[in-house]
Structure 1
Amino acid sequence: MPGVGDAPIPPGGVQKLLNNNVVVAVDADGRERVLMGRGIGFQLKHEGRVDPAKVEKTFVLDQATDTAHAQKLLTDAPYALVQAVLRAVDEAERELGRDLGRRLPLAVIDHVNYVIERLDQGIRIPGTSMPELRILHPDESRAAEHMAASIAASLDRELPPEEGVFLTMHLLNATRDEPNGTAALLFRRVQHVVRTVETGLGVALDTDSPDFARFILHVRFLLQRLVNRAMLTSGDSSFFEFAKHRYPRAFGIAQAVKAYVLAATGSTLTDEEVLYLTVHVERLATSLGRAETAGGPDAPVL
């Protein structure tokens, strides 16, 4: 697995030149380290040595396949781009207050290099705003936006707005260690619920509204309660029956969500969970001004 850090140059290692800014050193244990610094390759070529003071970053390479990929990437990518990404990753680690792992810098270098190559060819990679990300993962989303702005400023060029989304996903891959891709699975299910509601209402939701944020967080906690087998229950069905008849459209959408959850997880939502879904959907419809006679300003408040 490749890693990045500030490890010292391996003493007595065998070094080879990749380009003027990148050389490879093999330590006594046979592990390859890619050393990066402006002009260190030029120095090695002419003086046969590398000045440790000029080494800016060190990538530790442990697997043959990763070694070949990393060496090619760091050789081909413009050094200014590599520096911009490494600087942005360092800033993100400080902002988030944690180590972002070994693979992230190379993954972001690879991604940004690909994006810029496509932009130079007049090709823009399709993207989406994914507003759910901002609500479910606000810290990573904010750090990713800052990373995109930092990289763009360092390279003195404009990057597409959706780069914040792509970089957020990279950060989540680096910071979320739940088994079986739990975070990604939860996000996909939240997205599916949102699409189910939008289809039922026949309109795109206002992703900047407080009601949308409340709804997203409610769905996340609902899905987490489902996994933890701690769904809401109540012995009083009167409010459920009231909502069912008072807000039939919202109730029908909540039933569609219930059917999706059953198909996706094998678990059946309780009446209490369906009730709260109904209330949230009705609030969304009301805030959009598209509620029918079943809704209106008297929609229940949570």
Structure 2
Amino acid sequence: MLAIKKLNNNAVLCRDGQGRDVIAMGRGVGFGGDFPRELPLSKIEHTFYDIDPKGQDVMRDLPSDIVMFAAKVMDIVANELPYDLSTNATLFMADHLSFAVARAQKGVRIAMPLAYEVRETYPKEYKAAQFIVMRLEKELGERLPKDEIASIAMNLVNARVVEAVKATAEPTKQFDDMLEDVIEILESDFRIIVDRDSFDFTRFATHLRYLFKRIQAGESLNSANMQMYKNFREEFPQLAECVKHIGSYCRETWDATLSEEEELYLMIHLNRIISKKGL
């Protein structure tokens, strides 16, 4: 495999025999020598396809042991869930665990008031999250607070692949306009500037892309999350009000009504963005 760029000491950007870009990880694969150069397959411990430049930047800054751990456990978790996970699911998990470990090491604890609802609504994801927390302590010696289990479970929920709406072409400009309008609503409601180059923004943009496709196709997400939706609104009233404004925008601009399920997912994604702002 041809290594063309060093990301860090244990990760390099490569090009495989079919001309596809792939991130290869292994102990010391980034050490020594100029690029491009041939990388023996025997030195590669894990590969990641379909990682965009922003994802590559995130991987460059993540601890290699966390990324390798996430890759291993996500291979197992993926077989336990009744749906496909995003190609970036491992990177999402590594990013999440990296922050969780950093918080735990500093003694910072983030309460998850909806932990019971998460466990009841998403039992498979909660069980998988328990497994991840257990393996993290056993393999890396990092012990996370119990509240992190629910948070990791929601990370898995957010990483699931929503079946894309069939369409011959996506109206890119319309989507870009929708994304920018929604972010402007968030910035106005919370009086913040959203970092449009951040990994969290990329994750939210991906979620909004699927929402836009469903709006265009006249489809909607619906499930039995009514209690969780109600509790989330009660715990985060300002966030719920912001999503209400986004819902009004969708009705006025796209003649589409968001289901409670859609509003719930919007609140979860937006909460991750504003939580990084300390709000």
Class of the TM-score when normalised by the shorter of the 2 chains: 0.5 to 0.7
Question: Are 2:37 and 1:52 aligned?
Answer: no
| Runs of 5+ unmatched residues, structure 2 | 164-209, 212-219, 234-257, 261-279
Identify the residue that residue 182 of structure 1 maps to in structure 2.
221
Identify the residue that residue 40 of structure 1 maps to in structure 2.
29
Question: Are 2:115 and 1:130 aligned?
Answer: yes
8 Å CA contact retained: 2:83, 2:161: no
Q: How far is the alpha carbon of 1:54 from its aligned partner?
A: 1.8
Stretch of structure 1 that moved more, 71-80 or 94-103: 94-103
Letter in 1 for 2:115: M
Match of 2:87 among 75, 78, 102: 102
Q: How far is the alpha carbon of 1:29 from its aligned partner?
A: 7.5
Letter in 2 for 1:107: F
Identify the residue that residue 155 of structure 1 maps to in structure 2.
140
Question: For 2:259 and 2:39, how far apart are their aligned partners in 1?
Answer: 57
How high is the sequence identity, in percent, across the aligned residues? Answer: 28
8 Å CA contact retained: 2:133, 2:143: no
Identify the residue that residue 62 of structure 2 maps to in structure 1.
77
Please list the CA deviations of residues 82-130 of structure 1 after superposition, one character each: whole Å capped at 9, or x if unmatched. Answer: 1211111112123336642312101111111112223333322232352
Scaled by the length of structure 2, what TM-score is found?
0.55
Identify the residue that residue 91 of structure 1 maps to in structure 2.
76
8 Å CA contact retained: 1:128, 1:165: no
Question: Would the alpha carbon gap of residues 176 and 151 (structure 1) be closer, same or farther in structure 2, given more than 3 Å must change?
Answer: same
Find the structure with the greater CA-based Rg: 1
Q: How far is the alpha carbon of 1:50 from its aligned partner?
A: 1.3
Question: For 1:30 and 1:46, how far apart are their aligned partners in 2?
Answer: 17
Q: How many residues align?
A: 184
8 Å CA contact retained: 2:9, 2:30: yes
Letter in 1 for 2:25: M
Q: How far is the alpha carbon of 1:156 from its aligned partner?
A: 0.4
Question: For 1:47 and 1:24, how far apart are their aligned partners in 2?
Answer: 10
Question: Are 2:155 and 1:170 aligned?
Answer: yes
8 Å CA contact retained: 2:4, 2:12: yes
Question: Would the alpha carbon gap of residues 15 and 47 (structure 1) be closer, same or farther in structure 2, given more than 3 Å must change?
Answer: closer
Q: How far is the alpha carbon of 1:161 from its aligned partner?
A: 0.7
8 Å CA contact retained: 2:4, 2:36: no
8 Å CA contact retained: 1:17, 1:45: no
Identify the residue that residue 10 of structure 2 maps to in structure 1.
21
RMSD of the TM alignment (CA)?
A: 3.6
| Runs of 5+ unmatched residues, structure 1 | 1-8, 197-263, 267-302
Letter in 2 for 1:21: N
Please list the CA deviations of residues 228-276 of structure 1 after superposition, one character each: whole Å capped at 9, or x if unmatched. Answer: xxxxxxxxxxxxxxxxxxxxxxxxxxxxxxxxxxxx979xxxxxxxxxx
Q: Look up the SS of the partner of 2:48 in the other structure.
A: strand
Q: How far is the alpha carbon of 1:166 from its aligned partner?
A: 1.3
Spell out the pairing of 1:1-302 with structure 2 (5 A cutoff): 9=1, 13=2, 15-26=4-15, 31-42=20-31, 48-61=37-50, 66-67=52-53, 69-96=54-81, 99-175=84-160, 177=162, 180=211, 182=221, 186-187=224-225, 189-191=226-228
Question: For 2:106 and 2:160, how far apart are their aligned partners in 1?
Answer: 33
Scaled by the length of structure 1, what TM-score is found?
0.51
Q: Look up the SS of the partner of 1:24 in the other structure.
A: strand
Identify the residue that residue 291 of structure 1 maps to in structure 2.
none
Question: For 1:265 and 1:171, how far apart are their aligned partners in 2?
Answer: 21
Q: How far is the alpha carbon of 1:61 from its aligned partner?
A: 3.4
8 Å CA contact retained: 1:23, 1:40: yes
Question: Would the alpha carbon gap of residues 141 and 16 (structure 1) be closer, same or farther in structure 2, given more than 3 Å must change?
Answer: same
Letter in 1 for 2:40: D
Question: For 1:114 and 1:154, how far apart are their aligned partners in 2?
Answer: 17
